[in-house]
Amino acid sequence: MIWKSHVSYLGKAADILVAAGHDVTTLLMPVEEGLTDKGTKLAKTITLGESEGVKDAAKKVSNFKTSLWTQNIGNPIQFFEVAAFFRDICKESCKNVINNDTLTEYKMRKSIKLIVLLFCCVHVINTVKVLFIVPQIWKSHVSYLGKAADILVAAGHDVTTLLMPVEEGLIDKGTKLAKTITLGESEGVKDAAKKVSNFKTSLWTQNIGNPIQFFEVAAFFRDICKESCKNVINNDTLTEYVKAQKFEIAIVHSFDACSLGLIKLYEIESHITTFAGGIIPNQYQYYGLTYPVAQVPVLTSGYADTEMGFGNRFKNAMNYFFNTHFGYQGIVSINEIFEEKFGKGFVDIGKQISDATFHVSNADPYLSFSHPLLHKIVEVGGFTLGNHKVLENKWDAILNKRKYNVLISYGSNAQSIHMPIQMKNAFLAAFKKFSDVNFIWKYETPSDGTAKNLDNVHLVEWLPQNDLLNDGRIDAFITHGGLNSISEAAHAGVKLIVTPLFADQFLNAKIVSNKVKIGVTLTREDAEVPELLFDALTKILKPDSEISTHSLQLKEMIKNRPLNNKEVFIKHVEFAARFKNLNLNMEGRDMPLYQYLLLDVILLIVIVLAIVLGSLLFVVLIIYRCCVGKKQVQPSKKSN
């Protein structure tokens, strides 16, 4: 009980919980003399007596409060005096509590649970006119943005998605409810689209950790993004149409620099950036943050935050450099495209990232490595996951055939038909040893003869992944580690075997195996060895294992999180549309490196210390010389 305002704050918080129907008790620890206010009016209280040490400390608090008008906390000497004072009174207060054995033995008769009550009330919806700008590359990303658009439509808002063609054969619009604007393809886009298809085929053999391959991939993405962007900004009819719609807010993919420039072109006052994965490390700087390279692995790193020894920190620094260079070059190239058509300085993509009202991240705090955040960054991982449906009879029959069921899917980009033959054979050899397990494998050409002699392997061209995972009969999920698949499995409490192939999948795999411990990680090389795959399956299928416990616990944590992520997303969009740009960035985004590292302050301290030490040395030297000089000068004896 120190500082009446602090006691009042905690007391009012207790009263709120009592008013919400909870059983609340406050334990009052006496510190300040004369402060008898309990803070709470509704909660039960436990009040302690004062020890002699606490009484003495309480008097010191009263004396300190009297001196507040004359205190100079900026004075280093007074600062350390005040710090020592607070340390002493906290120690006495703590001793008073822990030495009270009667209090220690006191047991609450009722368990206290924190329950967040959702009050449903009728309210008037102010419709917001929203534009989603969706590059059609990576089906999972298009689906993510489309589902986000559908959530806003269902909430009563007027939503339009502008689809920018990029990937060959990808006609999925993502959205089922929003209005859409579909563009034709230029010749440049058609050529780029073919490159995307070729790249996806090579995902099984890509080594993004190789600097040469990294820069090849970076150049590839830069080129296709440029062609896609040119196709949109050169469509003057589209530009005039979108301007005329008077959209209140735009929601864009933070990975796509062109979308950020289009916001300026279409004269939309506010915007939100989002990404189907976590936060892109090189974008921290645009919010005034510094990415903690020494502590947190970047998206493409294949190690955990507990494995940051010298070697991994070195690799992490290199990965961060490559990612930052990739992001910067992409921004520069898109800036140039806008300048070619509209003149120099038309748009600054970096500033557009910084000026976003919010950044909506698909990362889930319960399913990621801890990292620094701002209020600007809204983490709502899994908010686009829909309700699962009851399975059709076809799937029900398969699941009932054997005791265990394992799902295998590598997503829409890394197709299993392109899996290296050695890995494919390793999978089949391992599956053959589990006669009591059904393996349901998403395989794009089931009729090609693969697994024809294995009656426990079911090849299917398509499967209802989320519905299967939530059925309750899937015991494990073998996947590439895309965030959507990881999130679906975590929500369903299904254990994982992750074989990462590209991008953030390496990081996601380590989160699964090292952070939340709901599965195991196999590298591509490991997955080519039948014995290693067999061991992984044996470990993952144990029903009472530590992995099983963690999977179910994580499922319950997600299910009972304090806030509904879908509602959080909707409210932030509505808030951004109403209040436009908010000042939520940390100051110093453009601060020179020497200022950020405090080199100027350190230099001043070094100079002052050098002067002080030099002066002391000079004084000591003078004193020394004086003393030595006196010894050397002896008085001469007078001769007779």
Cβ(51)–Cβ(29) below 8 Å: no
Tens digits of per-residue pLDDT, 89-121?
777 777 777 777 666 655 433 333 333 333 333
Instruction: Say if 141 falls within a structural domain.
Output: yes
Between the CA of residue 274 and those of 196, 250, 263, 334, 541, what are the distances in Å? Answer: 22, 11, 14, 19, 36
pTM above 0.85, yes or no: no
H or E segment to which residue 164 belongs: strand 158-165
User: Counting Cβ atoms within 10 Å, is residue 267 exposed (0-12), middle (13-18) or buried (19+)?
Assistant: exposed
Q: Which of 47-51, 383-387, 623-627 has the lowest mean pLDDT?
A: 47-51
Tell whether 366 and 419 lie within a shared domain.
no
Identity at 593, one-letter amino acid code: L
Report whether pLDDT(266) > 80.
Answer: yes
Supply the mean pLDDT for the chain. 85
pLDDT at 14: 87
What are 348-387's pLDDT values in tens digits? 999 999 999 999 999 999 999 988 889 999 999 999 998 8
Statement to judge: residues 476 and 414 lie in one domain: yes
For the stretch 156-209, pLDDT in tens is 999 999 998 887 777 788 899 999 998 887 777 777 777 766 676 777 777 665
Is the domain of 614 the same as that of 536?
no
340 with 209, same domain: the answer is yes
Residue 402, pLDDT above cutoff 70: yes
What would the 3-class secondary structure string for 225-263 be?
Answer: HHHHHHHHHCCHHHHHHHHHHCCCEEEEECCCHHHHHHH
Question: Would you state the structure tokens that stand for residue 99, as one six-digit string?
Answer: 């030495």
**pLDDT class of 47 with cuts at 50, 70, 90:** confident
On the question of pLDDT at 260 being above 70, the answer is yes
Residues 423, 551, single domain; the answer is yes
Which of 530, 559, 588 represents a domain boundary (last residue)? 559
Secondary structure of residue 107 in the 3-state scheme: coil
Q: Which residue has the higher pLDDT, 7 or 580?
A: 580
224-233, 256-265, 524-533: least confident range:
224-233
In a domain, 8, yes or no: yes
pLDDT band at 397 (very low <50, low <70, confident <90, very high): very high
Nearest to 329 by CA among 391, 269, 257: 257
Are 177 and 216 within one domain? yes
Least confident of 32-46, 216-230, 310-324, 620-634: 620-634
Residues 6+ apart with CB under 8 A from 567: none
How many domains are there within the chain?
4
pLDDT of residue 115: 33
Q: Does residue 351 form part of some domain?
A: yes
Domain ranges, residue 451: 393-559
Query: What CATH number is given to the structural domain containing 275?
Result: 3.40.50.2000
Q: Is residue 408 part of a domain?
A: yes
Cα separation values, 254 from 8, 59, 395, 509, Å: 43, 57, 38, 23
Are both 154 and 267 inside the same structural domain?
Answer: yes
pLDDT at 263: 95
In a domain, 588, yes or no: no
* 372 and 400 housed in the same domain: no
pLDDT over threshold 80, residue 31 = no
Residues 356 and 277 in one domain: yes
CA-based end-to-end distance of the chain: 89
Query: What is d(CA 110, CA 88) in angstroms, rounded to the nearest whole number?
Result: 35
User: Residue 249, Cβ neighbours under 10 Å: how many?
Assistant: 23
Assigned domain for 445 exists: yes
Share of the chain above pLDDT 70, in %: 87
Tokens representing 310 are 């010298």
Find tokens 């009729």 and name the residue. Answer: 447
Same domain, 31 and 180: no
Q: How far apart are CA 153 and CA 146, in angstroms?
A: 11
pLDDT in tens, 267-294: 999 999 999 887 788 888 889 888 899 9
Reply yes or no on whether the pLDDT at 217 is more than 60.
yes
Whether 364 and 500 map to the same domain: the answer is no
Residue 119, pLDDT score: 34
The bridge status of strand 404-409 relative to strand 476-479 is parallel
Assigned domain for 465 exists: yes
Residue 516 banded pLDDT, cuts 50, 70, 90? very high
pLDDT of residue 96: 76
Are 440 and 347 members of one domain?
A: no
pLDDT band at 541 (very low <50, low <70, confident <90, very high): very high
The better pLDDT of the pair 111, 623 is held by 623
Does 296 reside within a domain?
yes
Q: How confident is the model at residue 114, as a pLDDT?
A: 37
Residue among 92, 103, 13, 26 at smallest CA distance from 59: 92
pLDDT at residue 492, rounded to an integer: 94
pLDDT(412) > 50? yes
Stretch 212-240: mean pLDDT: 82
